[in-house]
Amino acid sequence: MTESMPKVQTVPRLLVVGSYNASLTVFSDELPSRGQTVLGDQLDIGPGGKGNNQAIAARRLGVDVAFVVKLGRDAFGETARELFAREGLPLGLILEGEKGTGVALIMVDASGDNLISVAPEANAELELADVVRLSTMFEGASHLLCQLECTVELFRNVSQWARERGMTTVLNPAPAVPLGDDTYRLIDLLTPNETELKILTGRDIDTDEAAIAASHELIERGVGSVVLTRGARGVMHVTAGGTQQYDAYYVNARDTTGAGDAFNGGLLAALTEGTSMESAIDLGMRAAAFCVTRAGVIGGLATRAQLDAELPSRYV
């Protein structure tokens, strides 16, 4: 990035506890079916992982971010440390695991659709004790953001700990797995896409009404509210009291791999600044739309200046 990042403050407002994965992405005209081999025309090797992507997405939008992560003692881990230094993420929050650094294998076709498989490795070793040991570096943070490339147990433990300290807890349930009510009761804000919502509830999400009903099921089980991302059909915010829908920004997609991460980073960047949910969702949608126009995730995570230049807000 050529734009300078704001200096990291003593107390980051956003705490991200999550994953870093080295991403190996092959671009080809089509995605393979089971047992099929297809020839690609481009290989990209770079940083990734949902925790990493969301932390950097929020950081580039000007928010002070504390990212607690566990890496392996390998070349992928060194690449991550160099990246965090460039992005202004505190290096004192990096932990070393016994296993190697996580790896994501990604395939992207000509339309931007993708297939992803992840080996968590050191990400699966991250524990509440690690977070507590480092907590003096982010004491007073207002929001916790987690994903599920680390363990569900980690989210439950960290969110309970964060709640006791007055933080708002946010879970991006990716990759999605069925969760219990003991977990849902710890989520103030849930940010699934439609596939993830289907996995969480076992419901078909084929109409607006079905999406709203599935979201209400999770609210009844303990979730505070649901922000459902729907790709080109925009975003739906469902609360116990009603539903608000937001139209997506129209762009020509090149690679949709990091759209959800860009959205979550933008959403949390705005929420930690105390803006309205409407403005936060708008910033998230702009960040996601910008991201899908670039190949690769990190290169598609925008600064405020880039968003204002290419995708100015509808709400200004």
pLDDT per residue over 49-70, tens digit each?
999 999 999 999 999 999 999 9
- Per-residue pLDDT tens digits for 197-228: 999 999 999 999 999 999 999 999 999 999 99
Helix (H) / strand (E) element for 262: namely helix 259-272
Number of helical H runs and strand E runs in the chain:
10, 13
On average, the pLDDT of the chain sits at 93
Greatest pairwise CA separation for the chain in angstroms: 52
Q: Look up 261 and say whether it is catalytic.
A: yes
pLDDT value at residue 114:
86
Per the document, the length of the chain is 316
CB atoms under 10 Å from CB of 247, counted, come to: 11
* DSSP secondary structure string for all residues of 69-124: EEE-SSHHHHHHHHHHHHHT--GGGEEE-SSPPEEEEEEE-TTS-EEEEEE-GGGG
> Of 44, 64, 130, 261, which is the active-site residue?
261
Q: Where are the domains of the chain?
A: 14-310
Nearest residue to 81 via CA among 93, 63, 99? 93
- Per-residue pLDDT tens digits for 90-102: 999 999 999 999 9
Instruction: Give the tokens for residue 108.
Output: 């992207």
- Per-residue pLDDT tens digits for 29-48: 999 999 999 999 989 888 99
- Dihedral angle over CA of 45, 46, 52, 56, nearest 10: -140
Of 19-23, 236-240, 263-267, the range with the lowest mean pLDDT is 19-23
Q: How far is CA 74 from the centre of its chain?
A: 24
pTM of the model: 0.90
Q: Give the phi and the psi of residue 238 in degrees, each rounded to 5.
A: -110, 125
pLDDT range class, residue 12, cuts 50, 70, 90: low
Of 43-47, 82-86, 152-156, 238-242, the range with the lowest mean pLDDT is 43-47
Nearest residue to 83 via CA among 45, 110, 118, 28? 45
Residue 4 predicted with pLDDT over 50: no
pLDDT range class, residue 111, cuts 50, 70, 90: confident
Nearest residue to 142 via CA among 126, 166, 118, 108? 166
14-310 CATH: 3.40.1190.20
The CA distances from residue 60 to 146, 248, 306, 316, in Å, are 18, 21, 10, 20
